[in-house]
Amino acid sequence: MSSKYNSSNIQVLEGLEAVRKRPGMYIGSTDEKGLHHLVWEILDNAVDEALNGHGNRIDLIINTDNSITIIDYARGIPVDMHENGVPASQVIFTTLHAGGKFGGDGYKTSGGLHGVGSSVVNALSTKLELVINKDGHEWSQTFTNGGQEVTELKKIKKSNKTGTKVTFYPNENIFSTINFNYKTIKRRIQETAFLIDNLEMNITDKRDGKYEQFKYTNGLEEFVNFLAQSKKKINKVIQLESNDLGIDAQVVLQYTDTYNEEIISFVNNVRTKDGGSHEVGFKSGLTKVINEYSRNNQLLKDKDKNFEGSDVREGIIAIISIKIPEHLLQFEGQTKSKLGTPEAKSVIEKIVYQNLLFQFDQNKTEAIKIIEKAKKAKEVREAVRKARLESRKEKKNKKEVMLSGKLTPCQSKKPAERELFLVEGDSAGGSAKQGRNRKTQAILPLRGKVVNTEKAKFEDILKNEELSTIINTIGASVGTDFDIESIKYHKVIIMTDADTDGSHIQILLLTFFYRYMRPLIEGGFIYIAQPPLYKISTVDNKISKYAWDEKELSKYQSLMTKKYFIQRYKGLGEMNASQLSDTTMNVDNRQLIKVKIDDIINAEKQITTLMGDDVSVRRKWIEENIDFDDLDEYEIGVK
Ligand code: TSJ
């Protein structure tokens, strides 16, 4: 191993050392998210090959020892000698930013974070095994301790296959967890299969023997069908395609009978979750087409105003997937997940405008169905605006804005310290009112029925007493008008019984917030209170303790020296004001669950499934996902 101590090698180790010193700089974090980043870094290299037309199958295996194996059947990483007599493959795994040199100007995933990350993965792994089939041989090299080569790249045997196989073992001392999440990886694998037609993606979890295969011949259409599952569809799926200015663009559209818009965009197969120029082009093209077609066909009368963007996007599911060659790629924003490339706007605007207008002209019935939907959206929007103007006029005459009579307000005027408890039932509401901290905690008991916002029309939602009270109390309007800057409470806490009804109310409220006040969830302002499940007391009542789960309960049981009894709380109503305050409301003792959205696509699907007609699906979900025994954070879509 004479090459081990030459100068380029020392530089290499210093480079990888920098990654180990500040992993966050390279992979964002060292938690579960950062751990999965390692998978994306390796996977994206194999996906890039497929994207450029090499290989039609990728396998991912989660091994029992928490290592990950990724295999492709493409060209194989180049093994020819590079500078200083080091093979190209070794340079790739030991040098930071060595990605670009080998690829030419094909399509590259993302704005630079991916594709060059194999050395970062190596640096953060205790072991990495590389097997390459190429140039008539199988080659292999292994690294340990974050990038030190155990062996040089060696010819193992003759082989006429081609492809690359990488196995890496994440470093337990660097990551807070090395337990890979099947669902998270599967979602990404399936998404990739949706985006690259005819690419076979296999995922195997050796820990429990699970295996799934994803392969689609018309992936984007199947992606839209997947997202629209269990929603009522308004039109037949529309597909638009073009190749212009060197940019390959595909747009797939489906309107559903819901009130939200879901526009999901990808650039070179990487999600651009903050949108960017392609989404801007899509939106302006769509508004233009629908207005123009409606005018030309008298679907809008002369006296009618034009459709606004939100009207033509209500209920839409759209996937925009574009391929941009590397020299045109520009990303913006902190996370580089917003496309800057100005050409993307004109390309997408043009295909939507030209091709959609053409399709509308070809199929008037389909066009009319979509435009009728936009018309309803426009009517509701105009009605809400009118109603708001009138209520503003009324309010001018009164000093205090009339709030719901049911609200017990708090004294503080600072939203940052104010908490709004949404409490199931009047009796628990009464206890909460007595037991609260008057300064910061406001109580709003929910008596009536919360409507299922997945089913109801927007007007009916505004008419629903419970929801309109919540909207007024939070004080930041609703829907497209919702203004997160105006919220009057920085914690909105849902407090229900720990039973099926309570869970159902939670889901109804969360669905409402998700659909109509989503920034409230995204900003982390929504919480779920956790009342204790047990109280354990000595018979003389001198000592009593609350327990939130069985584990805690048995801990207290083992500590008891005198005779004791256990009370199991079935609902908030069984606690008096001081008990409720002590256990569930008091900042010092309570356990709150912050509601997060980890993945919009998945949340979207779950919400639809949950709020659809099938009661048994809902019951099953509640049983499986709302687990009062072990919960740190409750995520819509992901547990
Ligand atoms: F990330 C990684 F390096 F570890 C990795 C790379 C992991 C896996 C599973 C696959 C790959 C990978 C890389 N698969 N295929 C390739 N292809 C190339 O690196 C390659 C091959 C040939 C040529 C050429 O111009 O002839 C160019 C490239 C980029």
pLDDT of residue 639: 25
CA–CA dist 592, 494 (Å, integer): 10
Both tokens of 221, joined, read 């259409």
Using an 8 Å Cβ cutoff, are 530 and 631 in contact? yes
CA–CA dist 179, 513 (Å, integer): 32
Q: Select the more confidently predicted residue: 391 or 508.
A: 508
Q: Select the more confidently predicted residue: 30 or 611.
A: 30
Both tokens of 133, joined, read 């089939």
Q: Which atom of ligand 1 is nearest to the CA of 43?
A: 9
Using an 8 Å Cβ cutoff, are 11 and 96 in contact? no
pLDDT of residue 122: 97
Using an 8 Å Cβ cutoff, are 126 and 66 in contact? no
> Cβ(594) to ligand 1 under 6 A?
no
Closest CA to 550 of 571, 536, 564, 570: 536
Nearest CA to ligand 1 atom 18: 77
Answer yes or no: is pLDDT of 13 > 80: no
Half-sphere exposure of 334 (CA within 13 A, CB side): 2
Q: Select the more confidently predicted residue: 391 or 471.
A: 471
* Amino acid letter for position 338: K
Residue 199 CA to ligand 1 center (angstroms) comes to 16
Residue 53 CA to ligand 1 center (angstroms) comes to 12
Answer yes or no: is pLDDT of 27 > 60: yes
DSSP 457: -
Lowest model confidence (mean pLDDT) among 294-298, 339-343, 368-372, 536-540:
536-540
Residue 599 CA to ligand 1 center (angstroms) comes to 29
> Cβ(341) to ligand 1 under 6 A?
no
The mean per-residue pLDDT over the stretch 435-442 comes to 96
Question: Secondary structure of the chain: what % helix, strand, coil (to 5)?
Answer: 45, 20, 35
Lowest model confidence (mean pLDDT) among 381-390, 413-422, 550-559, 595-604:
595-604
Residue 42 CA to ligand 1 center (angstroms) comes to 10
> Cβ(125) to ligand 1 under 6 A?
no
Lowest model confidence (mean pLDDT) among 225-229, 459-463, 476-480, 511-515:
459-463
Nearest CA to ligand 1 atom 28: 103
Lowest model confidence (mean pLDDT) among 4-8, 64-68, 295-299, 327-331:
4-8
H-helix or E-strand spanning residue 609: helix 600-611
Residue 72, classed as helix, strand or coil, is strand
Answer yes or no: is pLDDT of 109 > 90: no
Using an 8 Å Cβ cutoff, are 564 and 539 in contact? yes
Give me the percent of the chain exceeding a pLDDT of 90.
58
For a ligand 1 pocket test, name from 164, 169, 199, 326 the mutation site with the most ligand atoms within 8 angstroms of its C-beta.
164
**What are the CA-CA distances from residue 528 to residues 491, 506, 583 (Å)?**
10, 8, 14
> Cβ(75) to ligand 1 under 6 A?
yes
pLDDT of residue 426: 82
Residue 77 CA to ligand 1 center (angstroms) comes to 4
Ranked by mean pLDDT, which of 3-17, 127-141, 549-563 comes out on top? 127-141
Residue 251 CA to ligand 1 center (angstroms) comes to 29
- Nearest 5 degrees, angle CA 55-CA 61-CA 62? 150
pLDDT of residue 5: 46
Secondary structure of 473-521 in the HEC alphabet? Answer: HHCCCCHHHCCHHHCCCCEEEEECCCCHHHHHHHHHHHHHHHHHCHHHH
Nearest CA to ligand 1 atom 19: 77
**Average pLDDT score over the chain:** 86
User: Mind telling me the catalytic residues?
Assistant: 424, 497, 499, 501
The mean per-residue pLDDT over the stretch 396-422 comes to 78
Ranked by mean pLDDT, which of 7-21, 391-405, 542-556 comes out on top? 542-556
Residue 157 CA to ligand 1 center (angstroms) comes to 20
> Cβ(46) to ligand 1 under 6 A?
yes
Closest CA to 192 of 269, 111, 248: 269
Both tokens of 529, joined, read 């209170």
> Cβ(78) to ligand 1 under 6 A?
yes
pTM of the model: 0.69
Q: pLDDT, tens digit, for every residue of 223-282? A: 999 999 878 899 999 999 999 999 999 999 999 988 788 999 999 988 998 999 999 999
* Amino acid letter for position 398: K
* CB neighbourhood size of 26 (10 A): 21
Nearest CA to ligand 1 atom 27: 103
Phi, psi for residue 589 in degrees, rounded to 5:
-110, -25
The mean per-residue pLDDT over the stretch 524-538 comes to 90
pLDDT of residue 8: 55
Phi, psi for residue 504 in degrees, rounded to 5:
-65, -45
Half-sphere exposure of 129 (CA within 13 A, CB side): 9
> Cβ(370) to ligand 1 under 6 A?
no
> Cβ(109) to ligand 1 under 6 A?
no
Q: Determine if residue 120 is left, alpha or beta; phi over 0 gives left, psi from -120 to 50 gives alpha, anything else beta.
A: alpha
Using an 8 Å Cβ cutoff, are 39 and 50 in contact? no
> Cβ(92) to ligand 1 under 6 A?
yes
Answer yes or no: is pLDDT of 90 > 90: yes
The mean per-residue pLDDT over the stretch 540-554 comes to 87
Lowest model confidence (mean pLDDT) among 243-247, 489-493, 535-539, 614-618:
614-618
User: What distance separates the 2 farthest-apart alpha carbons in the chain?
Assistant: 89
Both tokens of 308, joined, read 């606004």
* CB neighbourhood size of 438 (10 A): 12
Give me the percent of the chain exceeding a pLDDT of 70.
84
Ranked by mean pLDDT, which of 228-242, 495-509, 597-611 comes out on top? 228-242
- Confidence tier at 346 by pLDDT (50, 70, 90): very high
Nearest CA to ligand 1 atom 6: 45
The mean per-residue pLDDT over the stretch 401-420 comes to 84
CA–CA dist 12, 32 (Å, integer): 27
- Confidence tier at 112 by pLDDT (50, 70, 90): very low
**What are the CA-CA distances from residue 139 to residues 50, 79, 129, 132 (Å)?**
21, 8, 11, 5
Residue 49 CA to ligand 1 center (angstroms) comes to 7
> Cβ(113) to ligand 1 under 6 A?
no
pLDDT of residue 499: 76
CA–CA dist 505, 499 (Å, integer): 10
pLDDT of residue 631: 33
> Cβ(94) to ligand 1 under 6 A?
no
CA–CA dist 181, 208 (Å, integer): 12
> Cβ(164) to ligand 1 under 6 A?
yes
For a ligand 1 pocket test, name from 27, 58, 77 the mutation site with the most ligand atoms within 8 angstroms of its C-beta.
77
Q: Which atom of ligand 1 is nearest to the CA of 71?
A: 9
Answer yes or no: is pLDDT of 545 > 70: yes
pLDDT of residue 1: 39
Residue 52, classed as helix, strand or coil, is coil
Gyration radius of the chain over CA positions: 29
pLDDT of residue 391: 62
DSSP 581: I
For a ligand 1 pocket test, name from 45, 80, 94, 140 the mutation site with the most ligand atoms within 8 angstroms of its C-beta.
45
The mean per-residue pLDDT over the stretch 128-135 comes to 97
Residue 43 CA to ligand 1 center (angstroms) comes to 10
Lowest model confidence (mean pLDDT) among 139-153, 184-198, 385-399:
385-399
The mean per-residue pLDDT over the stretch 13-22 comes to 85
